[in-house]
A and B are shown apart, each in its own frame.
Chain A
Amino acid sequence: MEFGPHLMLAVLEGAVTAAVLSLTAVGLSLVFGVMRVVNVAHGEFFMLGAVLAWWIAGAFGGHAALGFLAALVVAPLAVGAMAVLADIVILKRIGYDPERTIVATIGLLYILQQVTLMSYGPEARPVAAPFNTRLALPWVEWGEAGPALYWPWGLSITSYKLAVIGAAVAVLVGVWAVMTRTRIGLVMRATQLDRDMALAFGIPVERVYALVFGFGAALAALAAVLIVPISQAHYLMGGDPLLLSFIVVIIGGLGSLPGTVVAALLIGLSDGVISVFFSPTLAKILATLLVALVLVFRPQGLFGARAA
Chain B
Amino acid sequence: MLELRGIGAGYGRAQVLRDMSLRVGSGEILCLLGRNGAGKTTAMKAIMGLVPLMAGEVLLDGVSLGALPPHEIPKAGIGYIPQGRRLFGELTVAQNIEIGLMARGEGREMRERVLGLFPRLRERLGQRANTLSGGEQQMLATARALCLRPKALLLDEPTEGLQPSMIEAIRVVVRQMREEGVAVLLVEQRVDAVLDLADRVAFMENGRVVEEAAAEALRADHAIVDRYVGV
A interface with B by C-beta (< 8 Å)? 183, 186-187, 189-190, 193-194, 196-206
Structural contact, A205 and B71, CB atoms closer than 8 A: yes
Q: List 6 A-B contacts (CB under 8 A).
A: A190-B88, A196-B45, A200-B80, A201-B100, A201-B103, A206-B69
Task: Flag B18-32 by CB within 8 Å of A: 1 or 0 each.
Answer: 000000000000000
Asked whether any CB of chain A lies closer than 8 Å to the CB of B89, the reply is yes
Given A193-B89, A197-B86, A197-B88, the answer on whether A202 and B71 have CB atoms closer than 8 Å is yes
Name the distance in Å between A209's Cβ and chain B's nearest Cβ: 12
Bound-complex Cα distance A198 to B71 (A): 8
* Chain B residues within CB distance 8 Å of chain A: 45, 48-50, 69-75, 80, 82, 86-91, 95, 98-100, 102-104, 144, 148
Asked whether, in the complex, the Cβ of A189 is within 8 Å of the Cβ of B91, the reply is yes
Whether the Cβ atoms of B91 and A199 lie closer than 8 Å is no
Contacts of A197 in B (CB 8 A): 82, 86-88
Contact A189 B90 (CB under 8 A): yes
Given the contacts A183-B102, A186-B95, A196-B50, A203 and B71 also touching, CB distance less than 8 Å: yes
Give chain A residues whose Cβ lies under 8 Å from the Cβ of B102.
183, 187, 201-202
B50 closest partner in A (C-beta): A196
CB pair B88 A199 closer than 8 Å:
no
> In the assembled complex, how far is the CB of residue A136 from the closest CB belonging to chain B, in whole angstroms?
47
| A201–B90 touching, CB < 8 Å | no
Given contacts A186-B95, A190-B99, contact A202 B104 (CB under 8 A): yes
B52 to chain A, nearest CB (A): 12
* Chain B, Cβ-Cβ closest to A205: B71
Within the assembled complex, what's the spacing in Å between the Cα atoms of A186 and B92?
Answer: 11
A304 to chain B: closest CB distance in Å?
12
Chain A nearest CB: distance from B89 CB in Å?
A: 6
**What's the nearest-Cβ distance from chain A to residue B48, in Å?**
5
Quick one: closest A residue to B85, CB to CB?
A197
Q: How distant is the Cα of A189 from the Cα of B92 in the complex, in angstroms? A: 12
Indicate if the CB atoms of A200 and B99 lie closer than 8 Å. no
Nearest A residue to B76 via CB reads: A202
Provide the residues of chain A in CB contact with B95, threshold 8 Å: 186
The residues of B that contact A204 with a CB separation of less than 8 Å are 69, 71
A-B interface contact total, Cβ < 8 Å: 63
Bound together, the chains give a CA A31 to CA B223 distance in angstroms of: 55
How long is the Cα–Cα vector from A77 to B15 in the complex, in angstroms? 45
Query: Which residue in chain B gives the minimum CB-CB distance to A183?
Result: B102
> When chains A and B are docked, how far (Å) is the Cα of A189 from the Cα of B69?
21
Q: What's the least CB distance linking B127 to chain A, in Å? A: 16
Q: B50 to chain A: which residues have CB within 8 Å?
A: 196, 199-200
Residues of chain A lying within 8 A (CB to CB) of residue B99: 186-187, 190, 201, 203
* In the bound complex, CA of A138 to CA of B18 (Å): 79
A-B CB proximity, top 10 nearest? A202-B103, A199-B70, A202-B74, A204-B71, A193-B88, A200-B80, A201-B103, A202-B75, A197-B86, A190-B88
Which residues from A are CB-within-8-Å of B73? 200
Chain B residue numbers with a CB within 8 Å of A199 are 48-50, 70-71, 74
Contacts of A201 in B (CB 8 A): 74, 99-100, 102-103, 144, 148
Complex: chain A residue closest to B101, CB-CB: A201
- With A196-B50, A199-B50 as known contacts, state yes or no: A186 contacts B82, CB within 8 Å: no
Q: How far is the CA of A247 from the CA of B164 in the complex (A)?
A: 51
Contact A194 B88, beta carbon cutoff 8 Å = yes
Q: Are A193 and B90 in contact (CB under 8 A)?
A: yes
B82:A200 contact, CB within 8 angstroms: yes
In contact, A186 and B98 (Cβ under 8 angstroms): yes
| CB-based contact B74/A186 at 8 Å | no
Other contacts beyond A199-B50, A200-B80: 13, CB < 8 A: A186-B95, A189-B90, A190-B91, A193-B88, A193-B90, A197-B86, A197-B87, A199-B74, A200-B48, A201-B102, A201-B148, A202-B74, A205-B70
Q: Specify which of B72, B73, B74, B88 lies most central, judged by the most chain A CB atoms within 10 Å of its CB.
A: B88
Q: Which residue of A lies closest to B103 (CB)?
A: A202
Chain A residue nearest in CB terms to B100: A201
A194 — which chain B residues lie within 8 A by C-beta? Answer: 86, 88
Which B residues are CB-close (under 8 A) to A206? 69
Distance of B153 from chain A, by nearest CB (Å)? 12
Residues of A within 8 A of B103 (CB): 201-203
Using CB atoms, name the residue of chain B closest to A186.
Answer: B95
Q: How far is the CA of A203 from the CA of B101 in the complex (A)?
A: 11
Complex-state Cα separation, A183 to B105, whole angstroms: 13
Chain A residues positioned under 8 Å from B104 (CB to CB):
202
CA A100 to CA B73, docked complex, whole Å? 29
Q: Nearest Cβ distance between residue B226 and chain A, in whole angstroms?
A: 34
When the two chains form their complex, are residues A200 and B74 in contact, meaning their CB atoms are under 8 A apart? yes
**Bound-complex Cα distance A194 to B141 (A):** 14
Least CB distance, A87 to chain B, in whole angstroms: 16
In the assembly, what is the distance between CA of A246 and CA of B133, in Å? 37
